């Protein structure tokens, strides 16, 4: 059986790490695309040469154009300007809008049946831009956010409680920004409600650290942003599609009435399988989480309407 073809647009830290993890998990062959001369080709050659040592079965092709990407099964979009210290995700809006419009236009034309996973920030509105640009069914374009944010939340909780992060169930919904929603009502430790194990004050401190988790890493690195965990989250989505897992994951998807919102992209629980977002799962949220989700949607909605204006 032919190997699946995964195109990754952007050969920076996130894109290259997505490629490496795709190879490590033997998910398929990779096409790594970047406009910078030699960047994708050099990283591809380096990764291919690690294959005999690490046992990779797949191969990477580095390129500056989209001919090699034709008939991709999945396209992962990581290209765009990264955040710098003091810069919010929304500061990137105008710059990355133009980049996403261009690269998704090329990639979708080359692979009209591909599923597109967006990683570029500001995540929710860039996913909306990609969906409108690709002009394909909404289930085939979705964004990586909730998996990463939920992982950060789980890690911080495990650190505070001194328990394994694997016994913590948690879900972060809403926009991938300062208004994201670490849902207290959906957080459990080995089945026990989180509110039985720590105070609401402690929980809010951890929730706030989760909201600013990406910025914390930007400040520490000074010349870059997070890439190991974002790449892992993106590859988790790739695997769910290629393996037709029917996995319940928080992802940024277009809502058409679910949770009371329409015509915006927002992070909510979805079922991911071979068709992409196969279903939005509407979980009954407690009042405080629902209110926070509404606030988060209020930040994203005007940005989506701005994209509509620019594209029309």
The closest of 3, 40, 76, 52 to 235, measured between CA atoms, is: 76
Spatial CB neighbours of 310, under 8 Å, sequence gap ≥ 6:
97
pLDDT for res 85: 65
**β-bridge mates for residue 74, sequence order:** 6, 115
Q: What is the pLDDT of residues 119-167, one digit of tens each?
A: 999 999 999 999 999 999 999 999 998 999 999 999 999 999 999 999 9
Q: What is the pLDDT of residues 16-25, one digit of tens each?
A: 999 999 999 9
Mean pLDDT in residue range 288-310: 95
Neighbours of 32 (CB within 10 A): 30
pLDDT for res 92: 76
pLDDT band at 224 (very low <50, low <70, confident <90, very high): confident
> Which tokens hold the place of 159?
């650190």
Instruction: Determine which one of 20, 176, 211, 236 is catalytic.
Output: 176
pLDDT for res 2: 82
Q: Is 176 assigned a catalytic role? A: yes
pLDDT band at 88 (very low <50, low <70, confident <90, very high): low
- State the Cα–Cα distance between residues 142 and 306, nearest whole angstrom: 19
Region of residue 237 (left: phi > 0; alpha: psi -120 to 50; beta: else):
alpha
Q: Which domains does the chain have, with CATH numbers?
A: 5-143 (3.40.50.720), 146-311 (3.90.110.10)
pLDDT for res 223: 86
Mean pLDDT across the chain, nearest whole number?
95
């Amino acid at each position: 059986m032919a190997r699946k073809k995964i195109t990754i647009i952007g050969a920076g830290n996130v894109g290259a790490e997505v490629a490496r993890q795709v190879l490590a998990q033997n998910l398929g062959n990779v096409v790594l695309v970047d406009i910078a001369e030699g960047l994708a080709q050099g990283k591809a050659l380096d990764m291919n040469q690690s294959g005999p040592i690490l046992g990779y079965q797949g191969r990477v092709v580095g390129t500056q154009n989209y001919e090699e990407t034709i008939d991709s099964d999945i396209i992962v979009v990581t290209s765009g300007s990264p955040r710098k210290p003091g810069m919010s995700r929304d500061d990137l809006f105008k710059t990355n809008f133009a980049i996403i419009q261009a690269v998704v236009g090329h990639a979708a034309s080359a692979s009209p049946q591909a599923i597109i996973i967006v990683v570029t920030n500001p995540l929710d509105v860039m996913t909306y831009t990609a969906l409108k640009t690709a002009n394909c069914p909404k289930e085939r374009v979705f964004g990586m956010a909730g998996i990463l944010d939920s992982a950060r939340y789980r890690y911080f909780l495990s650190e505070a409680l001194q328990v394994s992060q694997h016994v913590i169930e948690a879900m972060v919904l809403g926009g991938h920004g300062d208004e994201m929603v670490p849902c207290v009502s959906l957080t459990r430790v080995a089945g026990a409600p989180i509110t039985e194990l720590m105070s609401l004050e402690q929980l809010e401190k951890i929730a706030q650290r989760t909201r600013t988790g990406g910025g914390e890493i930007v400040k520490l690195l000074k010349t870059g942003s997070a890439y190991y965990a974002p790449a892992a989250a993106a590859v988790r989505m790739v695997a769910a599609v290629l393996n037709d897992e029917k996995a319940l994951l928080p992802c940024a998807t277009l809502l058409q009435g679910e949770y009371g919102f329409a015509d915006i992209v927002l992070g909510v629980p979805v079922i991911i399988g071979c068709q992409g977002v196969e279903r939005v799962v509407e979980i009954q949220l407690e009042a405080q989480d629902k209110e926070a989700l509404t606030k988060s949607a209020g930040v994203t909605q005007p940005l989506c309407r701005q994209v509509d204006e620019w594209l029309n």
